[in-house]
Structures are given as structure tokens and as C-alpha cells.
Amino acid sequence: MRFTSRTSSDGVTEQLFTLTSSSTSIPGVLWTPEHAAGIRPLILMGHGGGQHKQAPGIVGRARRFVAEGGFAVAALDAPGHGDRPRSAEQDRIIGELRTRAQAGGDLTPVVAALHDLLAGQAVPEWRAALDALQDLDHVGAGPAGYWGMSLGCGLGVPFVAAEPRVRAAVLGLNGAETSAEAAARITVPVEFLVQWDDQLVARSASLALFELFASAEKTLHANPGGHGDVPMFELDSALRFFTRHLR
């Protein structure tokens, strides 16, 4: 891991970094309390489709997790997003998505194929990032959590299922078609968000995914509105959730 910049404001330090994994350069960002020292819980955040590690929603949530909870928070550019080039196969699937969307066709199988393709690369990258971040003196090998909506959920479900260091997860805005097998292997506490009028993910698919989680503690939060209309008070809930399970 190589840090490329460091800035601080309002008690939060932001460090951009590049992680090299399997000859691939992965851009990321780490937020910590200013002058942080010693071990602290780490929250990994997965951005949505078409977004990147410093999308406004990611940055806003990360800064609150740090400022109000004292957590370390990290985000990576997903494969083919942000500062990372897209593969030919990713371009092909995205082209098919656009064609189906224009024709009013069913997007579910194409979205599932895209998430499956990206997860095969993203899961080992997140595990390598977790290794590197927990080696830092101001993060350390404390408990880890995961937050991810939409694509961040599609890639996060197989990551959480594969990574025993993740002790709690806030997920949502995704359906069972993209990650059913992995969801059934998740046993950590889960807070799951559903937008009742989601135009991109069928309500039935979201509820089916929630049903698949094998967690003894899982909570469903359903709110009216479309895919991008998650209420800001859900951030308050996520902060309480991670504080309860990682502290």
C-alpha cells in the first residue's frame, strides 16, 4: 500500500492510496480521526454502480462514521469504476444493459451477470485491502464492518460471506438473483435496506435476499421511494448499528 496524499479538516484525515494486488493497481481512500493512534474498528464501504470511492454519498457517510463513531473507514474503486479501466467483457455487459433498458426489457439477469463478473475480482481485492489496512498503526487489527448499497451490496455479499474478519454489515438495494448462494453463508448481524418503490430492483427480489441471510440477527428497513431515495436518517441507524457490533 502506497499513500499518495493526506489532508485533514473538521477532525477527519483523508489519505488517498494505491494498493497493488496480483499486478493490479487499486485506488482507495482511508478516513481516520485526526491524530489517530492505536487500534480502532474499520468500516469498509462499497460504492454504487457508475460511482467511485469518493462519490459524495460515500464521503459524507465516511466522515460521519469517523467524526461521530471514531471509526476508520476505507473505500476502493470497484473494478471498471473511478480511476480503473473497464474490461472488454464489462463493456459488453454494460452495452447489453443499455439496450435492454431502452427496450423496456428485464435487466435482472444482466445485472446479475455484471455483479458476478466484478465480484470475482473485487472480493480478493477487498481481502488484500483489509490485510494492508489492518497493518497500519492507526487502524490495527480491530473488528471490521462492511457498508454497501446497490453494486456495493452485490459485491459486498460475497465478500462478507468469504471474510471472517467482517463482524457486521449494512447492505441493501439489491436482490437475490445476484448473490443468493453467498447470502446463505452470511451469519453476522445484518441491517438491510429496501426502497419500496425501487425502479431498478424488484421488491420481491430484495425481500428474497433478506430472507436468505442466515444471520441470527437481521433487521429489514423498508422506506418509500425509488432506488436513490434512501432517507438520511438511515445513516443514523447505520452508525448506531456499527457502534453496537464493532465497539
**pLDDT at site 168:** 98
Give the pLDDT of residue 140.
96
Long-range Cβ contact pairs of 9-13 (< 8 A, separation 24 or more): 10/63, 10/67, 11/66, 11/67, 12/63, 12/66, 12/67
Amino acid in the structure at residue 98: R
- Dihedral-angle region of residue 112 (phi above 0 means left; psi in -120 to 50 means alpha; beta otherwise): alpha
pLDDT of residue 102: 87
* Residue 164 one-letter amino acid: P
Note the pLDDT of residue 36: 94
Q: Which of 162, 196, 164, 167 is nearest to 179 (CA)?
A: 162
Q: Is 103 exposed, middle or buried (0-12, 13-18, 19+ CB in 10 A)?
A: exposed
Residue found under cell 459485491: 155
pLDDT at residue 167 in the model? 98
Backbone angles phi, psi at 232, to 5 degrees: -65, -25
Cα separation, 88 vs 80, in Å, equals: 10
Q: What pLDDT does residue 2 have? A: 95
CA-based nearest residue to 172, from 234, 239, 111: 234
How far apart (Å, rounded) are the C-alpha atoms in residues 176 and 12? 36
Q: pLDDT at position 162, please?
A: 97
Contact 56/162 with Cβ under 8 angstroms?
A: no
Give the chain's residues under pLDDT 70. none
Three-state secondary structure call for residue 29: strand
Do residues 143 and 167 lie in contact, with contact meaning Cβ atoms separated by under 8 Å? Answer: yes
CB distance 172 to 192 below 8 Å: yes
What pLDDT score does 52 carry? 97
CA distances from 27 to 7, 17, 129, 130, 169 (A): 16, 6, 10, 14, 23
What the block records as the C-alpha cell of 199 is 425502479
Residue 137: strand, helix, or coil: coil
